[in-house]
């Protein structure tokens, strides 16, 4: 039995449950090992928090043990975003993110960088939304953007092997590109995005450059998927240096159902058509923020966990049938610290169960479904 199993037994006092959750002898014991079997890295988001805080931070011993058990690659949930790093046009604050990168390097993790530009006003720092770019707005805005990407990418160098250079530039309601203060100053969003990728390529020539977005396989994502395909085609045509599509993968069951597998089966063909078109253009794929929204499933833990696991298994089986798929990252390992609890509370008030480990950091059926999918995927092609 591994360290973390012992820890959760002691913490949760649930020997029987944990024993039942242990996968069959032939399955790899960890997410990391399962992914490695097919040449992939599994990983997760983690956080910075003040010492002693109950958070998804490396300073939380129980959570750090999970990260070390299951992950080969990490990503900062919030600490590399402009809101964290860039308090003003002239100042950077690297304290928290530096501490995370240092910890990750000391413990032998690879690191992804999220994100060099969240191209969505809602998530810009207030100063950037209100910035007066003066008489030559295009030059001034480009200088602020360049300085950001250049400074961050050069500071971390080879420590970060993959960047979500641009995040969420496509408006899901229209499929068009979102406008921001930068796009207004620089003559359109396409200019901003090209600029970001070119600057990132120059500053981090070693790194995989990713366009990351949340177009997903559920109903209602049609325009979002079409918009992302159009953007990727335009990148291709203009020679913008984009290596991969980051598929965030905050998948979910939103309508009441007790048959997650049937829902997945219905969604599969159109999702495959989308992925086929992405890889046909020469892009690789990364799963950047996987978790499962369980609003449509019953509150009872048994059927809910089963539904989440079945839905995830079907989704991951599809994703893992693409040799172009590289890293697979979860947006947190435990329900205890998941953003879903606050972002999308269930109408019945029950705690969302979209992560591989529960509120007490005990493995759930989802964890085993993820291990099984990772272990049987096609090998990744570099």
- Interacting residue ranges for ligand XIL, rule: CB under 6 A: 77-78, 167, 248, 289, 339
**Strand partners of residue 245:** 211, 285
CB 377 to ligand XIL: min, Å: 24
The radius of gyration of the chain's CA atoms, rounded to the nearest angstrom, is 20
**Strand partners of residue 42:** 328
CB 298 to ligand XIL: min, Å: 26
Nearer to ligand XIL, 53 or 381 (CB): 53
* Residue listed under structure tokens 């599969």: 268
Nearer to ligand XIL, 6 or 53 (CB): 53
CB 48 to ligand XIL: min, Å: 12
Tokens read off for 217: 């396989």
DSSP string, 13-29: --HHHHHHHSPPTTS-S
CB 2 to ligand XIL: min, Å: 27
Beta carbons of 147 and 98 less than 8 angstroms apart = no
Tokens read off for 255: 């309508």
CB 78 to ligand XIL: min, Å: 5
State how far the alpha carbon of 43 is from the alpha carbons of 33, 131, 354, 367, in Å: 11, 36, 16, 13
Nearer to ligand XIL, 163 or 339 (CB): 339
CB 110 to ligand XIL: min, Å: 19
**Going by C-beta distance under 8 Å and a sequence separation of 6 or more, which residues neighbour residue 117?**
82, 145, 148, 149, 165, 166, 167, 192, 193, 196
Nearer to ligand XIL, 203 or 355 (CB): 355
State how far the alpha carbon of 12 is from the alpha carbons of 351, 352, 354, 360, 365, in Å: 17, 19, 19, 6, 17
Nearer to ligand XIL, 8 or 96 (CB): 96
Nearer to ligand XIL, 30 or 334 (CB): 334
């Amino acid at each position: 039995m591994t360290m973390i199993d012992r820890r959760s037994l002691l913490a949760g006092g649930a020997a029987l449950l944990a024993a039942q959750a242990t996968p069959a002898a032939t399955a790899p014991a960890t997410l990391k090992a399962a992914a490695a079997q097919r040449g992939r890295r599994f990983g997760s988001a983690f956080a910075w928090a003040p010492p002693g805080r109950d958070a998804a931070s490396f300073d939380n011993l129980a959570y750090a043990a999970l990260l070390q058990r299951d992950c080969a690659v990490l990503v900062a949930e919030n600490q590399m975003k402009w809101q964290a790093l860039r308090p003003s046009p002239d100042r950077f604050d690297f304290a928290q993110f530096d501490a995370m990168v240092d910890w990750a390097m000391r413990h032998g993790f690879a690191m992804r960088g999220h994100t060099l530009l969240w191209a969505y006003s809602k998530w810009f720092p207030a100063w950037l939304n209100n910035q007066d770019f003066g008489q030559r707005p295009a030059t001034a805005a480009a200088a602020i953007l360049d300085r950001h990407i250049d400074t961050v990418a050069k500071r971390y160098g080879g420590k970060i092997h993959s960047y979500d250079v641009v995040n969420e530039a496509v408006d899901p309601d229209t499929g068009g590109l979102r406008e921001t203060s930068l796009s207004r100053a620089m003559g359109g969003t396409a200019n901003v995005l090209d600029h970001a990728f070119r600057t990132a390529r120059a500053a981090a020539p070693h790194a995989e450059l990713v366009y990351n977005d949340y177009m997903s396989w559920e109903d209602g994502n049609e325009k979002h998927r079409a918009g992302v395909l159009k953007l990727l085609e335009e990148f291709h045509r203009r020679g913008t240096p984009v290596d991969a599509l980051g598929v965030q993968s905050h998948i979910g069951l939103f309508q009441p159902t007790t048959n997650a597998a049937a829902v997945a089966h219905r969604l599969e063909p159109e999702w495959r058509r989308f992925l086929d078109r992405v890889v046909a253009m020469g892009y690789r794929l990364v799963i950047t923020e996987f978790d499962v929204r369980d609003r449509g499933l019953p509150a009872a833990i048994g059927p809910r966990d089963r539904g989440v696991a079945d839905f995830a298994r079907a989704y991951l089986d599809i994703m893992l049938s693409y040799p172009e798929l590289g890293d697979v990252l979860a947006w947190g390992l435990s329900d205890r610290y998941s953003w879903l609890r606050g972002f999308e509370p269930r109408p019945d008030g029950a705690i969302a169960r979209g992560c591989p480990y529960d509120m007490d950091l005990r493995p759930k059926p989802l964890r085993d479904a993820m291990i099984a999918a990772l272990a049987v995927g096609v090998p990744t092609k570099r």
